[in-house]
Each structure stands twice: as structure tokens, then as C-alpha cells.
Structure 1
Amino acid sequence: MDKTNTPPVPAAINLKHLIGLLIVLAVGAGGAMAACTDAAADGVNWRRCYMDGRDLKSVSLSQAMLREATFQRSDLSGATLTGADAYRAKFLSARLDRVVMDGARLIEADLTRAELSGASLKNADLRNAKLVGAIMKGADLTGARLDGADLRNADLAGARWADGRLCGEGSVGQCH
């Protein structure tokens, strides 16, 4: 057999490609990538994941990375999202009653028509968040940052406002 026509050794080529791929994954990816199939857990990375229509009742997602994730029509009632980073996350028509989002970063999050009755949002950052038509009866917003938040038609009856005062019955769109 003529050795000049022998193909290169596949193992050597595969090893070079494997090493290159590992370097790209470790360095070029810029850190950990979201694994949208990962189970709900504290610190999970669900960045840009679609979690629409999921049953996530009473899960713990403390310190989770939820940036730009979407939870449209999902049920997170009784869940814990303390310290979660949900920048630009979408919770449209989601069930978030009794959710604990203390210290969560919800800048520019969309909570349009979300059910937030009895939710704890103490010290949450809700700057420029969209809470149009949200039901926030009895929610606790003590210390929350609400600069630029859109609260049109939000039901705030019985909610504890950022400054600690209790919102009266008929508080829609603003606390009075």
C-alpha cells in the first residue's frame, strides 16, 4: 500500500479540535452559560430562558440569574426569589401571590397584569418596571425603589408602600 495517500491520523486531529473547543468554551463564552433545562434551585442561571406557562409554585430561586427570562402565565405563587437578578424579565399575567422578592433586581421587568397579592418586595429595585394592571393587594414594598415604575391601573389596596405607609382601599395606580 502506498503510504503517500494515507489519511492523517484521526486521533491527533480530534485531539487538537477537542482542545480548541474546550478553550473556546472556557474562555470565549465569557463565563457560565444558561442551562434552561436546569431544575429550579437557588442560584440557577436561567438568563434569557423561556419559562412560559410553568408550574413553579413554592420553588426557591434565591440569588438566581433571571435576566431577560420570560415567565408569561407561569405560576410562581409562594416562590422565593430573594436577591434574584431579574433585569428585564417578563412576568406578564404570572401568578406571584405570596412570592418573596426581597432585594430582587427587577429593573425594567414587565409585571403587567401579574397577581402579586401578599407579595414581599422589600428593598426590591423596581426602577422603570412595568406593573400595569398588576394586583398588589397587601404587597409589602417597604424600601423598594420605584423611580419610573409604571403602576397604571395597579390595585394597591392594603399594600405597604416604599415609605412604610399603608395604602387605603381604592388605591389604584398610586398609594393614598
Structure 2
Amino acid sequence: MRTPILLAFLALAAPAHAACNSPPAPGVDWRRCLMDGQDLAGADLTGAVMRDASLSRTNLEKAKLAGVDALNARFGFADLSGADLEGARLTRADLTRARLQGARLRRADLRRARLFAADLTGADLTAARIDGADLLNATLDGARWTDGKRICAAGSVGGCR
């Protein structure tokens, strides 16, 4: 008699996982989903789980991605211009050639992220963690650096000058 009750309790206690075809919404679980080439401009994905997801060539212009968990996610060639990524977990994320102009990356975790040739012109990196991040050929003109004070000079490529 106790087994059915226990199973019912465990079923109610288990976290619900959204399918990859779930519409964009705050907290959506797109873990390991292939979302390449989608138009998600302006979408509110606050707190979404995107671990190991692929969003290559996706339009996320002005999207709300604050607090997302995008560990190992792929954003290669994605447009994240003006996106809010405050507090986002982008550890080991691939942002190769991503457009991040004017993106808000305050307190984002970019440790070991690949930002090769990404465009971070005018981005806000205040308090972002960038240990081990690959910034080779990344454009940082006018970006606010991790100390929250320094603005990168015109011609800053691969580092803030």
C-alpha cells in the first residue's frame, strides 16, 4: 500500500522538464536542444536552462537572458546585440563570432568561454568573470571592462586597451 503513495509523491516532487519545442518563456528548460537559426529577438528567457544547447546563428537581439544557465552552450555567429545577460552562466560557452554589441554581461560567468572574433563593441562586462576566456580577435571598442570603470579604447582587439 505504501509503494503507490510513495511513487505518487516522487512523481509530484520530480522537476518538470520542458520539451525542446516549448515556446520561449522565462525559466524554459532547453537543455541539450538544437535551436540553431531561430528568431528569438526580444524574447524573455530570464532564468532559462540552456546547458549544452545549440543556438548557433540564432537571433537573440535585445533578448532577456539574465540569469540563464548556458554552461557549454553554443552561440556561434548568434546575434546577441543589446541582449541582457546579467548574471548569466556562460562557462565554457562557445560565442565564436557572436555579435554582442551593447550587450549587458554584468556579473556573467564567462570562464573558459570561447569569444574568438566576437564583437563586444560597447558591451558592459562589469564584474564579469573571464578567467581563461578566449578573447583572440574579439573587438572590445567602447566596452566597459570587468572593473566597471575602464572603457576600452577604439581599436581594442583581444583585450581592453
Q: TM-score, normalised by structure 1?
A: 0.83
Q: Which has the larger helix fraction?
A: 1
Aligned to 1:110: 94
Deviation string for 1:12-46 (max 9, x for gaps)? Answer: xxxxxxx8xx87x949xx74334101000000000
Aligned to 1:140: 124
Select which of 44, 64, 70 maps to 2:28.
44
Residue segments in structure 1 that go unaligned for 5+ positions in a row: 1-18
Distance 2:39 2:11 in 1: 33
Whether the aligned pair in 2 keeps the contact of 1:103 and 1:123 (CA below 8 Å) is yes
Distance 1:151 1:64 in 2: 25
Aligned to 2:103: 119
In the alignment, structure 1 residue 77 sits paired with structure 2 residue 57: no
Aligned to 2:153: 168
Aligned sequence identity (%):
54
Query: Deviation at 1:106?
Result: 0.4
Tell which structure's C-alpha radius of gyration is larger. 1
Whether the aligned pair in 2 keeps the contact of 1:34 and 1:49 (CA below 8 Å) is no
Number of residue pairs matched by the alignment: 153
Aligned to 1:158: 142
Distance 1:34 1:154 in 2: 34
Select which of 17, 38, 45 maps to 1:33.
17
Distance 1:114 1:26 in 2: 40
Distance 1:72 1:125 in 2: 19
Distance 2:26 2:19 in 1: 14
Distance 2:45 2:17 in 1: 17
Query: Deviation at 1:104?
Result: 0.4
User: Moved runs in structure 1, 4+ residues, more than 4 A?
Assistant: none
Query: Deviation at 1:169?
Result: 0.5
Distance 1:53 1:93 in 2: 10
Distance 1:167 1:89 in 2: 27
Whether the aligned pair in 2 keeps the contact of 1:96 and 1:115 (CA below 8 Å) is yes
Q: TM-score, normalised by structure 2?
A: 0.91
Aligned to 1:129: 113
Query: Deviation at 1:144?
Result: 0.2
